[in-house]
Chain A
Amino acid sequence: MMAISTFSNQRALQKYNTRDTISAYALVGPSLVLLICLLIGPSLAVFAISVTNWQFGAQSFSFIGLQNFRELFDDRVFLSSLSNTFIYVAVVVPSVLGLGLFVALAIESRKEFQAFYRAVHFLPVMATLAAMAIAWEALLHPTIGLVTRLAVQLGLGSWNFLHDPRLVLATLCVIGVWQHLGYAMVLFLAGLKAIPSDLYQAAEIDGVDHPLDRLRYVTLPMLGPVIMFLLIVITLKALETFDTVAVLTQGGPENASELLLHTLYVESFQFFRTGYGAAMTVVFLLIVIAIIFLQAKVLDKRVHYS
C-alpha cells in the first residue's frame, strides 16, 4: 500500500516537473526568438558580409577572406577615425562623470531651485540632438555665431570652432559632454539620495569631516554601482556618436572630426561598400565588447553592491 502511494506520488511529481519545464521554455521563448532575429542574426550576417566584397545593390559578390580587414588598417580615413574616436571617448567619459558628479553635489548641497537646476541640466538629454546640433552650429558660426563673437569681444581672437582641424574634435567633445551631462547628473542625484544620512554622521564622528575625505570615504564608494553603470553607458553613447558629426562637420575638415560610426555610415551607405563597412562594423563591435568587458572585469570587483 505504502509503496504504491509513494509510486503514484512520484508520478504526480514528475508530471508537475515536466509542466514546469514546458512553461519555463514557453516564457523564455518569445524573447529568445526576438534576440535571435534582432541581435544575434544580424551580427552573424555582418560577420558574414565582412569577408565578402559585396556592394550594396550588386547582383553578385565573392568571398575575399580578410582582404577587407587588411585594407582597413591601410585606410588613412579609418585610422584617423579610430584614433579620433578613442580621443573622443577618453575626453567625454571622464568629463561627463566628473562634471556630472560635481553638478549633482552642487545641486544636492542647496535646497533652493533644485528642481529648476535639475531640469536645466537634463534638457539636452531630452532634446533631439540633430536639432540641437543646428543650434550649436548657429552659436559657433565663424562670423555671426554668439560664442565666436563673444570670443572676439573678449579679445581672445577669432576662432573657427567647426572648421579648424585643430579645434573641431575638441568642439565635438564639448558638445558631447553637454549632451550627456544631464543624464549622469540625474543618476548621481538619485544615487546621492540613496546614501543614508547616518553614514555621513558616523563618518563625522569618526573624523571624516573634510569635504574631500567625505567624498573619498563615503560618497564615492556608496556611488560605486552608479559610477559603474554610467561608465559603461556613457562609454557606449560616446562610441556611437553620430548626429553631431553628420549635422555639423561630416567628418571634416581633413577627417579631423571623423568618428567611427560616421565613417562606417559613409562607407556603407554613401559609397555603398557594404562588405568594407561590415568589416568596419566588426572592428567597432570588437572594440565595444572589449571595453565593456574590461570595465566590468576591473571595476566590478571594486564596486560594492548593497
Chain B
Amino acid sequence: MANVSATDITKIFGGTSVLNSVSLDVRDGEFLTLVGPSGCGKSTLLRIIAGLERQNFGSIAIDGKAVDAVRPKMRNVAMVFQSYALYPYMTAEENIALPLVMRKLTAWQRLPLIGSWMPGARARRAEIAREVQDVANALGLGPLLSRKPSQMSGGQRQRVALGRAMVRHPDVFLMDEPLSNLDAKLRVQMREEITGLHRRLGATFIYVTHDQAEAMTMSDRVAVMKSGDILQLASPQQVYSDPENIEVAKFIGSPQINLIPSIVNEKAELEIFDMKVAGILPASIRPGMSVTIGLRPEALKLALDDSSDGLLAHVTYVESLGSDSYIHAKLVDRTTAVIARATPAEAATIGNGTRVRLRFSPKEALIFSDNGERLRSNNCLPILRKVGG
C-alpha cells in the first residue's frame, strides 16, 4: 500500500511542454482517474510515475520515498496498457507468470534447458505456478491458461493483462486506457470488475481515460487535465456539479453542458437574451461585463411558450432514448444551441419548430468569466481582486 505524489512535474518533448509543473497527491488505496482529451498529458504523467518516461523537472515519490532514479521494476508498480501489451508468443499462464519468474528466479535458474536443474529452481517454479493459478482463479481465467493471446477475446486478454499486473501484489496499479479497445457492453462490465478489484485489493489505482463516463463511475477522485495542466482535482460529483473552470464543465457531462452568452446590466442583473436573472452574481462584478452561463441539460425545465419566464427557444430536434428525451433547441439568436432533458411525456407534446420556454433555477446556473474561470456568487473575480488592490 502506498501513496503517490508528483511534485511540479514538467515534461518537454522536442521543445513543446507536455506537462506544465503538474502536482498531484494520490492517497493510499485511492482510485484516482486522470481524465482529459487526447494530448492533454495524462498518459505522459502516468508513464512518468511508472518510470517509463523521465520528467525534465520535478519529482515522483511513492510511499514517501523519491523514486526518480529508480528503475520501473523496482518501483513496485504494475501497469495495464491500452493495447494490453501481452507477449503474443506466450500462453496466458506464461504471461501472468513472467513478473514472478523475473523476480523469484535467479539468472541461472532461468537458463533454458538446464535452468530447471539448478538448486531450488523446481520449488520456486512450483510456487510461481501456484500463485499464477490463484490469480487466474480470482479473474475467472482458469480454463484459459494454456491459450495464447491470439486465441482469446478482447475481454479475456484484458483479464490476462490484469492478472499479470496483480500477480506480484504491487502497491500501485497504473492503468492506461485499459478499456478503450473493448466493445461498449464489455466496457461497462469491465468497469465494474476493475472497481471490484480495487476494493478487494485495497491498492492505489491511478487510471487514465478519455472517457468521462469511466472517470465518473469508477473513481474516488478525478483529475481533469487539459494541455498539460490539472484543471480540477475533486470527487466525480464535484467536478460535475461544481466545476472550477469552463473546460472542466465542458469536458464532464454528456450531453455537454449548455453554454449561453450573457451580459451584466447596470442593475447587476444577468441579461440572457430577453430574460433577466438577479441575485446570483458575485458582488464585485462590473456592469457591462460579458459572462457565460453554464446550465446542465437536466437544469433546464420545459415550459410552453405562453408562460412568462424562461428562455425562449425553437425546438430543432427531439432525441428519444426511451427513459429520457433530449430536446435540442436554438435560442432566439438562432445560433446558440441548447439541449434540455425532458421526460418522454413532456417530449410527446412537442416537435420540431415548437416554441418553448426553458426555465431554470438561478442557483443551478454556473457562471464563468470570459477567461473561463468560475465566478461564484460568494467570491469575486480573481482578476478584479487584483485590480482592486
A-side residues, CB < 8 A to B, are: 196, 198-199, 201-209, 213, 217-218, 221-222, 224, 304, 306
- Total A-B contacts with CB atoms under 8 angstroms apart: 63
* B: interface residue count bin: 20 to 34
Contact status A205-B102, CB under 8 Å: no
Contact status B102-A224, CB under 8 Å: no
Taking a contact as CB atoms closer than 8 A, the residue among A204, A221, A222, A306 that contacts B72 in the complex is A204
30 A–B contacts, CB within 8 A, in A order: A196-B83, A198-B83, A198-B85, A201-B52, A201-B79, A202-B81, A203-B87, A204-B71, A205-B51, A205-B52, A205-B72, A205-B73, A205-B78, A205-B79, A206-B73, A206-B98, A206-B99, A206-B102, A206-B164, A207-B99, A207-B102, A208-B102, A213-B102, A217-B98, A218-B87, A221-B90, A224-B89, A304-B88, A304-B89, A304-B148
A205 contacts which chain B residues (CB < 8 A)?
Answer: 50-52, 72-73, 77-79, 99
Contact status B99-A198, CB under 8 Å: no
**Quick one: closest B residue to A221, CB to CB?**
B89
B-side residues, CB < 8 A to A, are: 47, 50-52, 71-73, 77-79, 81, 83, 85-90, 98-99, 102-103, 148, 150, 164
B290 to nearest A CB, angstroms?
Answer: 47
C-alpha spacing A146/B122, complex, angstroms: 57
**Quick one: closest B residue to A198, CB to CB?**
B85
A301 to nearest B CB, angstroms?
Answer: 12
A202 contacts which chain B residues (CB < 8 A)?
Answer: 79, 81, 85-87, 164
Contact status A209-B72, CB under 8 Å: yes
Taking a contact as CB atoms closer than 8 A, the residue among A196, A213, A217 that contacts B85 in the complex is A196
A222 contacts which chain B residues (CB < 8 A)?
Answer: 88-89
**Quick one: closest A residue to B52, CB to CB?**
A201
A196 contacts which chain B residues (CB < 8 A)?
Answer: 83, 85
C-alpha spacing A196/B103, complex, angstroms: 24
B151 to nearest A CB, angstroms?
Answer: 12
**Quick one: closest A residue to B88, CB to CB?**
A306
B87 contacts which chain A residues (CB < 8 A)?
Answer: 199, 202-203, 217-218, 221
B53 to nearest A CB, angstroms?
Answer: 9
Contact status B88-A198, CB under 8 Å: no
A306 to nearest B CB, angstroms?
Answer: 5
C-alpha spacing A204/B73, complex, angstroms: 6
Contact status A201-B89, CB under 8 Å: no
C-alpha spacing A304/B88, complex, angstroms: 7
**Quick one: closest B residue to A224, CB to CB?**
B89
C-alpha spacing A196/B88, complex, angstroms: 11
**Quick one: closest B residue to A306, CB to CB?**
B88
Q: In this complex, which of B71, B72, B103, B164 has the most chain A Cβ atoms within 10 angstroms of its Cβ?
A: B72
B102 contacts which chain A residues (CB < 8 A)?
Answer: 206-208, 213
B148 contacts which chain A residues (CB < 8 A)?
Answer: 304
B116 to nearest A CB, angstroms?
Answer: 16
**Quick one: closest A residue to B82, CB to CB?**
A198
Contact status B103-A207, CB under 8 Å: yes
Contact status B99-A199, CB under 8 Å: no
Taking a contact as CB atoms closer than 8 A, the residue among A208, A224, A306 that contacts B98 in the complex is A208
B79 to nearest A CB, angstroms?
Answer: 5
C-alpha spacing A98/B52, complex, angstroms: 29
C-alpha spacing A199/B83, complex, angstroms: 9
C-alpha spacing A306/B88, complex, angstroms: 7
A201 contacts which chain B residues (CB < 8 A)?
Answer: 47, 52, 79, 81, 85
C-alpha spacing A42/B51, complex, angstroms: 62
A306 contacts which chain B residues (CB < 8 A)?
Answer: 88, 150
B98 contacts which chain A residues (CB < 8 A)?
Answer: 203, 206-208, 217
Contact status A209-B71, CB under 8 Å: yes
Q: In this complex, which of A202, A217, A224, A306 has the most chain B Cβ atoms within 10 angstroms of its Cβ?
A: A202
B161 to nearest A CB, angstroms?
Answer: 8
C-alpha spacing A202/B52, complex, angstroms: 9
C-alpha spacing A79/B293, complex, angstroms: 94
Contact status B81-A198, CB under 8 Å: yes
C-alpha spacing A222/B81, complex, angstroms: 18
C-alpha spacing A204/B47, complex, angstroms: 12
C-alpha spacing A213/B72, complex, angstroms: 15
A117 to nearest B CB, angstroms?
Answer: 24
B179 to nearest A CB, angstroms?
Answer: 16
**Quick one: closest A residue to B176, CB to CB?**
A198
C-alpha spacing A213/B102, complex, angstroms: 9
Given A205-B73, A222-B88, 9 more pairs with CB closer than 8 A: A196-B85, A201-B47, A201-B52, A202-B81, A203-B98, A205-B77, A206-B164, A207-B99, A304-B88
**Quick one: closest B residue to A208, CB to CB?**
B102
A206 contacts which chain B residues (CB < 8 A)?
Answer: 73, 98-99, 102, 164
B52 contacts which chain A residues (CB < 8 A)?
Answer: 201, 204-205
C-alpha spacing A222/B149, complex, angstroms: 14
What 10 A-B pairs come out closest when comparing CB atoms? A207-B102, A304-B89, A202-B85, A198-B85, A221-B89, A207-B73, A206-B99, A205-B72, A204-B72, A201-B52
B164 contacts which chain A residues (CB < 8 A)?
Answer: 202, 206
B78 contacts which chain A residues (CB < 8 A)?
Answer: 205
